[in-house]
Chains A and B, each alone.
Chain A
Amino acid sequence: MSHDHAHDDDHSELSAMDLRVRALETVLTQKGYIDPAALDVLIDTYQTRIGPRNGARVVARAWVDAAFRGWLLRDATAAIASLGYGGRQGEHMIAVENTAGRHNMVVCTLCSCYPWPVLGLPPTWYKSAPYRSRAVKDPRGVLADFGVTLPEATELRVWDSTAEVRYLVIPQRPAGTEHLGEEQLAALVTRDSMIGTGLVALPTSVA
Chain B
Amino acid sequence: MSYETHADLGGRSGSGAVAPELEGELFHAAWEPRALALTLAVGATGAWNIDMSRAARETLPNYAELSYYEIWLAGLQRLLAQRGLLSPDEAAAGQALHPALALKRVLRAGDVASVLAAGSPTLRPSADVPRFNVGQRVRTRGEPVAHHSRLPAYARNKVGVVERLHGAHVFADANAQGLGEQAQWLYTVAFDSSELWGDDATPALTVSVDAWDAYLELA
Binding site for B on A (CB under 8 A): 1-5, 7-8, 14, 17-28, 30-35, 37-43, 45-47, 50, 52, 86-92, 94, 107, 109-112, 120-121, 123-125, 127-140, 142, 145-146, 153-165, 190-192, 197
Residues of B within 8 A of A (CB): 5, 7-13, 15-21, 23, 25-26, 28-38, 40-42, 45, 54, 57-58, 63-68, 70, 73, 76-77, 80, 85-86, 90-91, 93-96, 100, 103, 106-109, 111-113, 115-123, 150-152, 154-155, 164, 166, 169-170, 172, 186, 188, 193, 196-197, 200, 202, 204-212
Contact partner of B12 (CB less than 8 A), chosen from A18, A50, A129, is: A129
Q: Which of B16, B25, B54, B107 is A123 in contact with, Cβ under 8 Å?
A: B25
Complex: how many Å from CA A111 to CA B55? 10
> Taking the nearest CB of chain A, how far is it from the CB of B213, in angstroms?
12
Please indicate the chain A residues that have their CB under 8 angstroms from the CB of B109 in the complex: 35, 37-38, 40-41
Nearest B residue (CB) for A3: B67
**A112 cross-chain contacts in B, Cβ below 8 A:** 68
**Cross-chain pairs A/B with CB under 8 angstroms, 5 sampled:** A39-B38, A128-B68, A137-B200, A159-B188, A160-B210
Contact A27 B112 (CB under 8 A): no
Interface pair B112/A162, CB less than 8 Å apart: no
CB of A186, distance to nearest CB on chain B (Å): 13
Minimum CB–CB distance from A131 to chain B (whole Å) comes to 5
Given the interface contacts A110-B7, A121-B36, does A133 sit within 8 Å of B13 by beta carbon?
Answer: yes
CB distance from A115 to the nearest CB of B (A): 11
Of the candidates A28, A35, A128, A164, the one having the most CB atoms from chain B within 10 angstroms of its own CB is A164
Report whether A164 and B205 are in contact in the complex, using a CB–CB cutoff of 8 Å.
Answer: no
A52 to B172, CA, bound (A): 28
Which one of A7, A89, A137, A197 lies within 8 Å of B67 (CB-CB)?
A7
- Indicate if the CB atoms of B208 and A111 lie closer than 8 Å: no
Q: Which secondary structure dominates where chain B touches chain A?
A: mixed
User: What residues of A have a CB within 8 angstroms of the CB of B111 in the complex?
Assistant: 38
**Which residue on chain A has the smallest CB distance to residue B64?**
A1
Task: Find out whether the CB atom of A91 lies under 8 angstroms from the CB atom of B166.
Answer: no
B15 touches A133 (CB 8 A): yes
Contact of A145 among B20, B63, B152 (CB under 8 A): B20
Residues of B within 8 A of A52 (CB): 23
- List residues of chain B with CB within 8 A of the CB of A39: 34, 37-38, 41
In order of increasing CB-CB distance, the 6 nearest A-B pairs are A23-B94, A109-B10, A37-B109, A4-B28, A39-B37, A163-B210
Query: Cα distance A50–B113 when bound, in Å?
Result: 11
Q: For residue B119, which residues in chain A have a CB less than 8 angstroms away from its CB?
A: 86-91
Q: How far is the CB of A87 from chain B (nearest CB, A)?
A: 4
Knowing A7-B67, A192-B20, the reply to whether A164 touches B42 (Cβ < 8 A) is no
Give which listed residue, B77, B112, B155, contacts A38 with CB less than 8 A. Answer: B112
CA separation between A50 and B26, bound complex, in Å? 12
A35 touches B108 (CB 8 A): yes
| Inter-subunit contact A133/B66 (CB<8 Å) | no
Judging by beta carbons under 8 Å apart, are A21 and B20 in contact? no
Contact between A21 and B73, CB atoms less than 8 A apart:
yes
* Nearest chain B residue, comparing its CB with the CB of A39: B37
* With A25-B34, A123-B21, A164-B170 as contacts: A31 and B100 at CB distance below 8 Å: yes
Query: When the two chains form their complex, are residues A42 and B40 in contact, meaning their CB atoms are under 8 A apart?
Result: yes
